Amino acid sequence: MNDNSKTVFTFLLGLAAGAAIGIFLASDNKEEILNDLKDTARKIKDNLDEEIEKGKKFVDDLKNKVNDLLEDS
């Protein structure tokens, strides 16, 4: 990514964050929004934990296959 791309990306990210904060501050149902954000964050964390476990299992399986191949040689 070149410097111009990074600058544009950072600007757009800041713009999106500012818009989200503006909507939140102007909203009457802040507690509902916070609860939704917490639920979404929890789901993302659970999905990441699950994918990490899958990755660990994949690496362990691969390691075992390599060890088996080395023992057979």
At residue 73, does pLDDT exceed 80? no
Instruction: Please compute the mean of the pLDDT values over residues 5-23 and round it to a whole number.
Output: 89
33 class by beta-carbon count within 10 Å (0-12 exposed, 13-18 middle, 19+ buried): middle
Cα four-point dihedral sign 54, 58, 60, 61: positive
pLDDT-derived band at 1, boundaries 50, 70, 90: low
Q: How many domains does the chain have?
A: 1
Which range of residues forms the domain containing residue 43? 3-72
pTM here is: 0.57
Highest mean pLDDT among 11-15, 21-25, 28-32, 60-64: 60-64
Torsion angle of C-alpha atoms 54, 60, 62, 65, degrees rounded to 10: -140
C-alpha–C-alpha distance, residues 4 and 48, integer Å: 31
